[in-house]
Structure 1
Amino acid sequence: MNATAPSAAEYGYRVVWSSVDGEFVATCAEFPSLSWPADSQTAALTGIAILVDDVLTDMRASGEEPPLPFSRRTYSGKFNVRLPQELHRRLAREPAQQNVSLNQYVVSKLAS
């Protein structure tokens, strides 16, 4: 893990229109319980970034370890998926017909 504490700018944000709320709502991927509603996308993004910065300050003051931003996380490139045998059988057919591995087939499907 990187020894320097993450800043609010390193986290992943998203702003969407909420027809239920009638305004834009910003969220942070690493802090899924936080959100910030506002009349504009810019105000929502600014609000959530300030909120995350405040939460990070509080966490550090109380000795809590903040979540690692996705941008700093490392991944092995592997994950396991459990699926029913019949679905596995069906999924194996098409790559076999295309003369590619099931792994290559699934990666191409996930990438598209």
Structure 2
Amino acid sequence: MQNTVADLYKSGEEVPLPFALREYSGNIRLRVSPQKHRALRVKASEHTVSLIPLPERIAVRTLRSRRIYGTLVARGER
């Protein structure tokens, strides 16, 4: 990592801010085909649930399965 930063400085390139120091909006765009979007919306409606929290649930489930989520929560990054 230090070598990469040094190389960026030497070449005059901008060193990106570390992820932990960046500000985030809390919005993530999810792209799916119109057909899948329609099917998801119909299923959600049948079960009287919203699609809005779905991406967060999927991300949390994925991170938990990879044992990453607990580390983020412990560090206050969730």
**Deviant stretches of 4+, over 3 Å:** none
Question: Which one has the bigger strand percentage?
Answer: 1
Other structure's SS at 1:108 match: helix
If the length of structure 1 is used for normalisation, what is the TM-score?
A: 0.43
Structure (1 or 2) with the larger CA radius of gyration: 1
- Find out whether 1:82 has 2:59 as its counterpart: no
Question: Which one has the bigger helix percentage?
Answer: 2
Percent of paired sites with the same residue? 33
CA change 1:64–1:105 in 2 (3 A) is: closer
CA deviation vs aligned residue, 1:55-84 (integer Å, no higher than 9, x gap): 322333443321221111221111323322
Structure 1, unmatched stretches of 5+, are: 1-51
If the length of structure 2 is used for normalisation, what is the TM-score?
A: 0.57
Structure 2, unmatched stretches of 5+, are: 62-78
- Equivalences, count: 61
